[in-house]
Every structure is written in C-alpha cells, then in structure tokens.
Amino acid sequence: MAFDIEMIKSVYQRFESRIDAARKSVGKPLTLTEKILYAHLWSGETNTAYERGQDYVDFAPDRVAMQDATAQMALLQFMQAGRPQVAVPSTVHCDHLIQAKIGADADLAIANEQNREVYDFLASVSNKYGIGFWKPGAGIIHQVVLENYAFPGGMMIGTDSHTPNAGGLGMIAIGVGGADACDVMAGLPWELKFPKLIGVKLTGKLSGWTSAKDVILKVAGILTVKGGTGAIVEYFGEGARTLSATGKGTICNMGAEIGATTSIFGYDEKSEAYLRGTERGDIADLANQIKQHLTGDDEVYQSPELYFDQVIEINLSELEPHVNGPFTPDLAWPISKFAAAVKENNWPDKLEVGLIGSCTNSSYEDISRAASLAQQALEKNLVVQSEYTVTPGSELVRYTIERDGFLDTFEKIGGSVLANACGPCIGQWARHGADKKERNSIVTSFNRNFAKRNDGNPNTHAFVASPEITTALAIAGKLSFNPLTDTLTNSKGEQVKLDEPSGLEMPTKGFAVEDAGYQAPAENGENVQVIVSPTSDRLQLLDPFKPWNGQDLIGLRLLIKAEGKCTTDHISMAGPWLKYRGHIDNISNNMLIGAINFVNGKADSVKNQLTGEYGAVPATQRAYKAAGIDTIVIGDENYGEGSSREHAAMEPRHLGVRVILVKSFARIHETNLKKQGMLGITFENPNDYDLVQEDDRIDIIGLTEFAVGQQLTVVLHHADGTTDSFKVNHTYNEPQIEWFKAGGALNIIRQNQLI
C-alpha cells in the first residue's frame, strides 16, 4: 500500500528550516496550521508573511485522494497532461457508486455489474499512471486514507468535501474539485487563499455517553454552517490529547459542516498509538523526531486569543451528548433538551431507522461502543424497535469487527450490515417506501442531514448523533428517549436502563484483514491500456481543446444573458446528471439549463439567432457550433458561485462558447475557466451589462496585445445598426495568459512533456 516513507522523510527534513524562517517572517510564535502551510509553500521561500483571509498562495501538497464519482473527470483531464506518472502519490477509492439495498455482498455484486465500465476505467487509468486503486468494497475514502496515508504534518487534497477527516492525524487535508486534483497530479502548484484561523481549546475529559462526535455537534451549534468559511479550525488543549486519533478524525470530518477549509489536531500519544496500531510505526518514529514542529508553539496555546482570529473553549467533562437536526447539522440539541424540542416542533417521534458507520464514525472505538449497547439490549431482553444498519468505513475495520464478534451482535438485534461504502450517506439507499414521501424520522452517525440527502424523501427528518446515541435511540424506537435518564420496558415487562457504553480505541488483538481491496499500480504503466468503451454513455476520453488562433474575437453571438444568481448548479446541474460526470458531451446537455434568460425570465429558453426560434440552451449552442459560429455568455454578479465543479467551466468550452463576460466572478469558477482556456472577463462598469441586447453581434478587441492588467474592449453591434463599446477587465497573470493562448493549462503541461 506504499505510504511512501521516503516522501514523508523528505517532507520532515524541510520542516525545521522552513518553520524557523516562517516564524521570523511572521514575527511571532506559530500555530500548527501555519507551520504546516509554510512548510508546504510551492516556492519553498518562507520570507513572506501572508495575510490571512487575503493572500492567495501556491502550495505543494504531498498527496491526492479521489473518490470514484469525482475521480472520473479529474483523471480524464489528467490524461491530457501527457505525463507518464502522477507527480505526487495519489489514490482512487470506489465508494460512492454502491447502492445500499439488500446487504453488503448482494449490493456490492450489483454495483460491480452496474458500474463495471467506470470501475474498469478507474482501475486501468490508475494502473497506468501510478495511482493506488482501492476497489469497490475496500472502504470509504476518508477512513481508508486515515488508516493508510494520513500522516502528521502532511498536506493533501482530496476530491471530496470530507477530506479534512485526515486532520485527526495532524494532516492539513482539504476538499477540492477535480480540476485541482488534476493540476497537482500533473505537477502544478495548488492555490489557496491563506486561511483565517479558529482555535478550539478543549479542556477536561469525555466520559459516559459523550463521545468525540458531540464535540463537533457542539461546535456546529456554536459556529453554524457558515461559521468556518475561509478558516482552518485548530484544536488544542489537554482535552484534545485525551481523544483517540479516530475520534479526532470524526471531529475534523464534520468541520466540513461548518464550512471550514479544514480542521486539524496536533501530534500526540494518541496519534502515535494509532500509527503503530495501523502498522506505521516507522512514521511514528519519524514524527517523534520532529514532535515540536507537529504542534503549535507553546505561547500560542497559552494565549490563543493573540494568535487565532477566533477562539472557542469547550470543557469535555461538561459536554452533553447532542442530537443535531433536522435538515441542517447546526441545529444542535443537548440530549437533555432534545425530547422537549421533538414535542414542541412536532417532529415524528417514532424513529424509523438508526444508521451507524460511514466515513465519519466507523472506527473500532465507535463500533465497539455501539456494540456494547447492542449487547445490553440482548442481555436485558430489549426488543430493538427501529431498523438498524451498520456501514463499516473500511474492510480493515469490517474484518476486525467481524472477528471480534461485533457484527454478530448487531445482527442478533436485527441490524443489517451494509457494504463498506457511502450508501445511505449520499442517497445511495434504496429505502423501501421512501417514494411515498411520508413524514418520518431517522438518526444517523453520518455528517450531513440536508433534506433528501439520505433517501430522497423531503419529509424524512434526519438527525445526526454519535453511534452510541443513534444505537440507544434505535433500541428505544423513539427520538424522545434520553438514555441517560429514561428506562425502557423489556419483553418481560420489566423497566430496564441502558448502562453507559464502553469500548476500546483499538482492538487488543490488533487490526486484521484478509484482502483489503487494494490494487497497486504497475511499476511501468507505459503499455497499460486505459479501458473506455467508445459506445459508453458514462465515459468519454477528452480531446485537447484548440489553441487560440491569435486574433481578436469578432462577431460573437449572444448565447444567453443570464439574470441574477447563476451558480455552478445553474451552469451544470447535479442530480440525475451526476452519472455523466465522466462523459463531457453527455453532461454538456445540462449546460446553463438553470440560468434565467434576461429577455423572457425563463430558464433554458434562448433565441437561436440563426432561426429566430427559442429553444433549450445546450441545443441552441450545439446549433451555433455546427454552423461554426462562436458565442458569448453574459452574466451577473458572483457568476459561478457554489462548488468547484470543473464541469461548469468545461461544458461551455466543449460546446464552443468562447467568452464569459460578467459583472463579477466567484473566484474558483473564474480560475476554472482560465484553466480550460476560456476568456473570462468582467465589466469595468457593471451598468454596461444593461447595454447588451439579445440580437447583438459582439467583438472582443485587444487580445492580440493580451497582457497583465491591460483592459480589453467590447463592441456591441446592435440589430438596429447602432453600436456601443466599453472597457472590460481581466485578472489573467502571465502563466494564465499562456493557458488562454494554448487553449488550456493542460495543453501547456503536455507541450512541456514533449520538449
């Protein structure tokens, strides 16, 4: 599985000198986050102090991890770079496409059949380019990464929002879009706005029913779903050192729910124990040698308010178990107040299903503590009232908990064990009856609980809690049960009370696995064929985009002037389109179908200037493309906000749109456009937006002298023979201008390979 000890050594070798230099340039003691960020600067030059929340900085991550849904386009693009191998260690994890329906084995067999072409592609492309491939059933990306690849002081990016899970082992791990993953694998720097820092000081010690999950449920309540935006959350304090590495992983994982860039804990004895327990003692030995660099400086933690932008303090000894929801993870209820909230809000009290596991909460500790409750149910003659499912996060965990009898205990109380995959967490749950859209309640130990996320039913009230509380509520069959105080009636009519859960951080006999589900790449992939069926409707190899022809753009037709909000969802919708993520032509049939046309206020209805008729945006654009006519899209403020989905930039490029001219861009989308060789420009005067008319022919003048900071000119030729002209701005730097000229960033990388 090659966690690449040499790579880790070389990362650690540069820590001391870079951190010392950074401390001097920043002029004060450093947080752990700053140490890791400065140690991973792309330039290696640590003489600049970056302004938090302000400066954009290039970094050199150590690893890339991709899940199967997002890996498809990332790898199709990577193939365009012409590299023989990925530039940094990378892995693919097949976890998102397995639907939970019957049980682990049957569901996995069906997924292997249904997704065969996607899996074959991912396996072959991984084999060819030196990427580790984790087969379907091997586990969920973040759990597998924590067990195998996360290391203290490292930096990784992953094409999934819960990548921060690896922060539990002291890694800066950040969720990104496929385009970013592609860049890093191709050997390009990765850019991030230098984050703000939120410090969370943990004091005391967990006990009884409370678990690590309750820390983040509490933090989510304090900070809300937006409170972490643009910030890295750093946990510290004597309480932090009492938490297991996997418990810390849970907390970092759910940092995504408060919008944080990532979350992190420092290296401590628990991290060391987990590294040794997962057969990575050599990493622990290396980490021990530079321990002082793998936590923040002492002064920082003594007076955190001087070094963090915001500080929160939580006393673990006083922390109550929480249940958060419904429909949002920041509606935080201490268990003592939850029953009243259920009543007051008239939420369905009957608990239909309790679901434990997922990437967030399927550690040995989680499972053993939940199993201790299941065991009590058996011993105390309690009949479990709700359906109950267990989703192990990896085959390593599944095999070990089966060996140690926990799965058997869950099955004895009527639980079903699902595949080691995302399943119900991402709506891959064929839940019987969900189509009836009945009001009902479920509790999960997952991370997200937005409407429809789990089963597609908007009336499912999903709550998030620890595996222990989820299990207790499932035993009771109702939300309003408080296991800390309430009793239950058993099958003999007796009143019984559940004892506090108990468990082990790690198995006393050690972890075990027969087949972890890993496929190592070929030593030399030169002759490996990448498998893509030419008739596939889910996958399509990409052709390089054409370079710029060296001339100004003259006579562009207006495809759409979008009015109001135009997010990446308006530009490239999700939902049923997700299945075409690996097929640029098919997914392009959703291009801009959510954008509102300023002329008629309608979505997906634009005038085809060749016929004068109104039609769907993608079909109209295809008609222009077929006629060899270039087009332009006009947009409003913050165009492309939302996600980093690269399809929103690739689709217009694929269908022949040349320019996106808007009042302002969401920055990630603007960069994505540049990477694809598009011209993304902004009105100097936002009111010029009003000058654009439906039948205009539009020229972009000044490209022949395209230069940093130099404006371009737009000329509108109106149908009545009049013209308007105005200046527009751009933010292209020198390399980005070269991307535009070459037709895309990957074309440049490919050209460089050929030299």
- State which residue, 95 or 636, has the beta carbon closest to ligand F3S: 95
- State which residue, 242 or 324, has the beta carbon closest to ligand F3S: 324
CB of 359 to ligand F3S, least distance (A): 3
Spacing of C-alpha 708 from chain mean position: 33
Phi, psi of 349 (to 5 degrees): -75, -30
Q: CA 692 → CA 13, 116, 595, 683, distances in Å?
A: 57, 48, 17, 11
CB of 659 to ligand F3S, least distance (A): 36
**Residue 66 near ligand F3S by CB under 6 A:** no
- Look up residue 567 and give its two tokens: 């997010």
Q: Is 113 exposed, middle or buried (CB count within 10 Å of its CB: 0-12, 13-18, 19+)?
A: exposed
Asked whether 640 and 669 are in contact (CB, 8 A), the reply is yes
Looking only at residues 180 through 209 of this chain, which bind ligand F3S when binding is defined by CB under 6 A?
none
**φ/ψ bin of 164: left (φ > 0), alpha (ψ from -120 to 50), beta (otherwise):** alpha
CB of 468 to ligand F3S, least distance (A): 19
- State which residue, 356 or 698, has the beta carbon closest to ligand F3S: 356
- State which residue, 81 or 157, has the beta carbon closest to ligand F3S: 157
- Cα atoms in the Cβ-side hemisphere of radius 13 Å centred on 553: 26
Interface residue with ligand F3S, options 31, 244, 358, 671 (CB under 6 A): 358
CB of 533 to ligand F3S, least distance (A): 27
Q: CA 398 → CA 65, 84, 603, distances in Å?
A: 21, 35, 47
CB of 530 to ligand F3S, least distance (A): 25
DSSP-derived secondary structure for 486-500: --EE-TTS-EE-PPP
- State which residue, 426 or 617, has the beta carbon closest to ligand F3S: 426
Looking only at residues 568 through 627 of this chain, which bind ligand F3S when binding is defined by CB under 6 A?
none
CB of 521 to ligand F3S, least distance (A): 23
- State which residue, 68 or 696, has the beta carbon closest to ligand F3S: 68
Binding-residue total with ligand F3S (CB under 6 A)? 13
Asked whether 639 and 646 are in contact (CB, 8 A), the reply is no
Report whether the peptide linkage leading into residue 534 is cis, meaning its omega lies within 30 degrees of zero.
Answer: no
Looking only at residues 88 through 107 of this chain, which bind ligand F3S when binding is defined by CB under 6 A?
95
Looking only at residues 115 through 174 of this chain, which bind ligand F3S when binding is defined by CB under 6 A?
140-142, 160, 162
Looking only at residues 233 through 262 of this chain, which bind ligand F3S when binding is defined by CB under 6 A?
none
CB of 220 to ligand F3S, least distance (A): 15
The DSSP element (H or E) to which 134 belongs, if any, is strand 132-134
Q: Which distant-in-sequence residues (6+ apart) come within 8 Å of 461 by Cβ?
A: 325, 326, 327, 347, 348, 439, 440, 441, 442
CB of 426 to ligand F3S, least distance (A): 4
- Look up residue 645 and give its two tokens: 């989905």
CB of 261 to ligand F3S, least distance (A): 17
Listed in sequence order, the DSSP H helices in 581-709 are 584-587, 617-626, 647-655, 667-675
Active site residue ranges: 95-96, 160, 448, 643, 645
CB of 117 to ligand F3S, least distance (A): 21
Give the number of other CB atoms < 10 A from CB of residue 205: 15
- State which residue, 135 or 142, has the beta carbon closest to ligand F3S: 142
Give the β-pairing of 657-662 and 679-683.
parallel
Q: CA 436 → CA 201, 353, 389, 455, distances in Å?
A: 46, 16, 21, 11
Q: Which distant-in-sequence residues (6+ apart) come within 8 Å of 136 by Cβ?
A: 68, 94, 95, 97, 98, 108, 111, 112, 115, 119, 419, 421, 517
Q: Which of 63, 11, 515, 505 lies closest to 249 in space, CA to CA?
A: 505
x-marked contacts with ligand F3S along 418-457 as a string, rule CB under 6 A = ----x--xx-------------------xx----------
- State which residue, 250 or 372, has the beta carbon closest to ligand F3S: 250
Interface residue with ligand F3S, options 171, 206, 216, 359 (CB under 6 A): 359
- State which residue, 171 or 319, has the beta carbon closest to ligand F3S: 171
- State which residue, 358 or 572, has the beta carbon closest to ligand F3S: 358
Q: What angle do CA 661, 710, 551 make, to 5 degrees?
A: 70
Say whether 377 sits in a helix, a strand or coil.
Answer: helix
DSSP-derived secondary structure for 695-733: T-EEEEE-GGG--TT--EEEEEE-TTS-EEEEEEE----
**Site residues, ligand F3S (CB under 6 A):** 95, 140-142, 160, 162, 358-359, 422, 425-426, 446-447
